[in-house]
Homo-oligomer: A and B are copies of this chain.
Amino acid sequence: MTDVQRHGVTRRWSDAVIHRGIAYFVEVADDPTQEMGGQVAQVLKQIDDRLELVGSHRKRILQVLIYVADLADVPVLNALWDEWVPLGHAPARACIAVGLAVGYRVEMIVTSALIDCSADGGPRE
């Protein structure tokens, strides 16, 4: 059952799970004391770091579900997001307001294809 790889496994969740060339992961700001701009910047940076760790890239993201605590924060989100997304490689995206744990203003659920993968999810030769 080694076709499922888990990174940063804790008792409650894994930082990333990889299966057949697709990475599944969730990011919230490591420091939730910051305002929306700071949290979005953190989350986007954390996504970049995670993508690199799992062998993926911003240009390989398939879908991002964005949860915000307050829709009034969306313009701040979009300004940073639009700069971050590689032109021509935007993922499918949903952005909705939900209840997040205290202090958190944004959470992103990412599904991303690995860079090098054969049809069966193993390393490309």
Task: Count the copies.
Answer: 3
A81 contacts B12, CB within 8 Å? yes
Interface string of A64-96 (1 = CB under 8 A from B): 010100010010001001100101111111111
Q: Compute how far the CA of A78 lies from the CA of B12 in the bound complex, rounded to whole angstroms.
A: 8
Specify which of A67, A78, A87 lies most central, judged by the most chain B CB atoms within 10 Å of its CB.
A67
List the B side residues contacting A12 at CB < 8 Å: 78, 81-82, 85, 90, 93
**Residues of A near any B CB (own CB < 8 A):** 1, 3-4, 6, 9-17, 19-22, 24-26, 59-60, 62-63, 65, 67, 71, 74, 78, 81-82, 85, 87-102, 107, 109, 111, 113, 115, 118-121
